[in-house]
């Protein structure tokens, strides 16, 4: 009888987790589809980020990872700003492999922010996400909100995965 009750509890907990996960995915999809289908953001498909991964695929992966981290660890960040900032954090719109200007790692957050401000209406949090996502490389641009910290961490997770585990 005790094992039956324990099994029933596990099933109930697992069912609740599955329902919550499905609700989370639906909520993510509702927000993300705005950016996934935006003609300006789709231009990022023309640029390679890591290996053979496009900048678009990278920012989409960062948005998904940011959302997952936010909900898994209950950070209570604003989902709309988190996802929008993640989609725009690498909105620099140039081929950094051919770039001959300042070092890309230091320069691209500024270029991404300038492009995003030109093409979108941004909140202060979204600006901070874009500006600070390369911290600590860009020492002067510290993440100042939980959304920026989450995207910065998600960007590093995704970049490592794309660079070392997703080579085609």
Say whether 165 sits in a helix, a strand or coil.
coil
More confident residue, 100 or 69: 69
DSSP 8-state secondary structure symbol assigned to residue 46: G
Task: Sketch out the chain's domains with CATH numbers.
Answer: 2-164 (1.10.3210)
pLDDT the model gives residue 94? 63
Spell 78-102 as b/e; 16+ CB within 10 A means b.
bbebbbbbbbbbbbbbbebeeeeee
What are the tens digits of pLDDT across the range 121-155? 999 999 999 999 888 877 788 899 999 999 999 99
58-80 residue pLDDT tens = 999 999 999 999 999 999 999 99
Mean pLDDT of the chain: 82
For 4-56, the pLDDT digits (tens) are 445 545 544 454 454 456 657 889 999 999 999 999 999 989 877 767 888 99
Residue 82 has pLDDT above 80, yes or no: yes
**Which has the higher per-residue pLDDT, 147 or 111?**
147
Instruction: Please tell me the predicted confidence (pLDDT) of residue 92.
Output: 77
What is the model's pTM? Answer: 0.83
CB 164 within 8 A of CB 122: no
* 3-state SS, residue 122: coil
Q: What is the pLDDT of residue 56?
A: 96
CA atoms of 76 and 71, how far apart (whole Å):
7
pLDDT of residue 110: 86
Cα dist. 58→20, 76, 77, 104, 156 in Å?
26, 23, 21, 16, 11
pLDDT computed for residue 157 by the predictor: 92
């Amino acid at each position: 009888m005790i094992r039956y009750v324990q099994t029933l509890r596990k099933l109930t907990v697992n069912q609740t987790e599955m329902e919550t996960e499905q609700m989370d995915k639906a909520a993510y999809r509702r927000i993300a589809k705005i950016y996934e289908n935006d003609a300006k953001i789709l231009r990022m498909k023309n640029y390679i980020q890591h290996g053979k991964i496009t900048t678009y695929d990278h920012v989409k992966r960062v948005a998904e990872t940011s959302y997952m981290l936010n909900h898994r660890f209950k950070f209570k960040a604003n989902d709309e700003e988190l996802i929008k900032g993640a989609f725009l954090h690498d909105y620099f719109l140039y081929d950094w492999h051919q770039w001959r200007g300042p070092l890309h790692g230091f320069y691209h957050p500024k270029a991404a922010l300038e492009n995003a401000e030109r093409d979108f209406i941004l909140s202060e949090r979204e600006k901070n996400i874009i500006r600070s996502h390369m911290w600590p490389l860009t020492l002067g641009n510290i993440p100042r909100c939980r959304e920026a910290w989450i995207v910065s961490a998600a960007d590093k997770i995704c970049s490592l995965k794309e660079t070392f585990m997703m080579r085609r």
